[in-house]
Chain A
Amino acid sequence: MADKLNLKTKSVSGPTAAILLLVALAIPPFLSAINLNYGILICCFVLLYVVAVSGLDVVFGYSGQISLGHAAYFAIGAYGSIMLHKYFGVTIVFSMLIASAVATIIGIVIAYPASRLRFHFLSLSTIAFGEIVYQLVLQSPSAVTGNSLGIFTEPISFFGFKLDTYTRFYYYGLAVMVISLILKNNLINSKTGRALIAIRENAHAADGAGINVTRHKVIAFAVSTFYCAYAGAMYAHLVRFISPDTFMFRQSVLFLTMLLFGGTGSLLGPVIGAFSVTLLNEALRVAEKYQMFIYGTLMLLVIIALPGGIYGSLKRLLNRFKRKEAR
């Protein structure tokens, strides 16, 4: 009976996903054909930002908790992977995973007590944690981390195959992004995902329905820190150089901006958000002096004009259109 009722799922439909994937696969050959190698790099950034922002969506979009400190986990992933590779000789693929696991453990330790805090105070605690990690990196011994000057590293290599061109990294990043979106989609469409949404909707009733609210908030936080840390490790081995100023408060705000621009609590929202905000930032580079001012102004305008984000607004528009057609 149930399957005949055409059950609503929140995931992207098969054909849409196939088309999007084909377009994504065609981007590097297209960009190199028009001699825009730099464009491929930008797309690599978009991919890793999608991973980070999707993680943030689990914690913010689904379980309704704010974080203004996810740059810290981005940093732990990036620095952790470089350190593990450089000083312990861990192969880069594994160093990325181990660093992300470490970030997740740290995230869990913080999230346990923090999950009791109300909205604004949760945001303050995440800001504090972000600042602490930033300061620790900035003030660390220069022989180890290069402190404020930064540190160089190598590209990812799979058993001798080096991801040392933008195109190669792009396809790797695309695979990682697709896998992380599928895993996120699976999580959301499970009892755990429902529990997260229930907590966002009404934590009191969720508790009454047998959901361990603290445990689920911590799960959401853990998933998001893993995603963010892995994206950080990707960033490190894509750029092959990192320095503390990539991991400032501004970066945490950037993640949240991408999420809110794209639309929260959806699979495509983070994709749209990461893509549009990255492109916007690139476009604003032309007006170097005014870049941050325009960025702030646009951010404010979008917040006031499109509170549901681009994805949410498109969906509303589409619904209105459908309703008109149905009449």
Chain B
Amino acid sequence: MLLSIEGVTVKFDSLIAVNNVSVNIAKGKITGLIGPNGAGKTTLVNAISGVYAPNAGKVVFDGEDITGRRGYQISKAGLARTYQVINLFEHMTVLENVLVGMHTRLKSSLTAAFFKTRAERAEEEAAREKAFELLRFVRLQDRFDNEAGSLSYGDQRRLEIIRGLASDPKMVLLDEPAAGMNPVEKDDLDAMLREIINRGVTVLMIEHDMKLMMGVADHVFVLNYGSKLAEGTPAEIQRNPDVITAYLGDD
């Protein structure tokens, strides 16, 4: 197991947004997280990635207890993420966004930065090469010098995924990557997700697009009212009567 979530609970005052959820996420797979609106999916992802500290429970990533750590520490441990609402550095260039994503993998010291040592320059050069390689992966290499905010919606989503991948993570958390994409972009995302897995990166993805999710996910789990409702293969989930009721309502 790469990521185990053990009995995680998140409360906002008296509201219990995530209630005692336990999930294990297998290495090298795409795991889907679905559920009706307000089920606590993003809250769970936020609790894993350090936006909030869980009120109870444990998050273990790659054998390391990361419960309650800060966002940057979790990112450093190898867990990258994207956001439901696009969260790019809008006025920085496309290339700079990717380079910021590499932050934790660049080793030069502050002193090396001040004096532009040869090692620092070499590292920056290599970082740029790698950034371009990643940009080619999503065919954004020609836009490297544009402001990130000037890209189309779909491109911004893809850039955000690339920024996450730039830190060489063991795992990425994708929060609704297909939101706002057109069908062509969605097919593209499907291919991209498979490529990410081929690179050895595990994926946990929240997504409302069932066609995409059922096609690409190896394993799916369902949240409803903050609690885990079901988990299984996409086929099992589609047949699960509880899930169907949760989505369609009781009557």
Q: Does B75 contact A (CB under 8 A)?
A: yes
What would be 18 A-B contacts, judged by CB atoms less than 8 Å apart?
A: A2-B132, A5-B132, A7-B128, A186-B114, A189-B124, A190-B124, A191-B113, A201-B89, A202-B89, A205-B83, A205-B89, A207-B72, A207-B75, A208-B75, A209-B75, A209-B101, A209-B167, A212-B70
Contact of A5 among B96, B106, B108, B144 (CB under 8 A): B144
Residues of chain A within 8 A (CB-CB) of B49 are: 208
Q: Does B220 contact A (CB under 8 A)?
A: no
Q: Does A302 contact B (CB under 8 A)?
A: no
For chain B, the bracket of interface size reads 35 or more
> How distant is the Cα of A186 from the Cα of B93 in the complex, in angstroms?
19
Q: How far is the CB of B2 from chain A (nearest CB, A)?
A: 18
Q: How far is the CB of B96 from chain A (nearest CB, A)?
A: 6
- Partner-B contacts on A (CB < 8 A): 1-3, 5, 7-8, 183, 186-187, 189-195, 197-198, 201-202, 204-213, 219
Q: Does B140 contact A (CB under 8 A)?
A: no
Residues of chain B within 8 A (CB-CB) of A2 are: 125, 128-129, 132
Q: Is the interface of B mostly helix, strand, loop or mixed?
A: helix
Q: Does B88 contact A (CB under 8 A)?
A: yes
Residues of chain B within 8 A (CB-CB) of A198 are: 89, 92, 100
> How distant is the Cα of A8 from the Cα of B143 in the complex, in angstroms?
12
Q: Which residue of A lies closest to B71 (CB)?
A: A207
Q: Which residue of B lies closest to A7 (CB)?
A: B128
Q: How far is the CB of A199 from chain B (nearest CB, A)?
A: 9
Q: Known: A2-B128, A209-B167. Is A194-B100 also a contact (CB below 8 A)?
A: yes
Are B116 and A209 in contact, CB atoms less than 8 angstroms apart? no
Q: Known: A191-B106, A194-B99, A208-B81. Is A202-B87 also a contact (CB below 8 A)?
A: yes
> How distant is the Cα of A55 from the Cα of B129 in the complex, in angstroms?
31
Q: How far is the CB of A212 from chain B (nearest CB, A)?
A: 5
Are A187 and B113 in contact, CB atoms less than 8 angstroms apart? yes
CB-CB contacts below 8 Å: B48-98 with A: 49-51, 70-72, 75-76, 80-81, 83, 87-93, 95-96
Q: Is the interface of A mostly helix, strand, loop or mixed?
A: helix
Contact of B71 among A183, A197, A208, A219 (CB under 8 A): A208
> How distant is the Cα of A242 from the Cα of B144 in the complex, in angstroms?
51
Residues of chain A within 8 A (CB-CB) of B125 are: 2-3
Are A186 and B113 in contact, CB atoms less than 8 angstroms apart? yes
Q: Does B41 contact A (CB under 8 A)?
A: no
Q: How far is the CB of A143 from chain B (nearest CB, A)?
A: 40
Are B103 and A194 in contact, CB atoms less than 8 angstroms apart? yes
Q: Which residue of A lies closest to B91 (CB)?
A: A201
Are B103 and A207 in contact, CB atoms less than 8 angstroms apart? no
Q: Does B120 contact A (CB under 8 A)?
A: yes
Q: How far is the CB of A180 from chain B (nearest CB, A)?
A: 11
Are A210 and B167 in contact, CB atoms less than 8 angstroms apart? yes
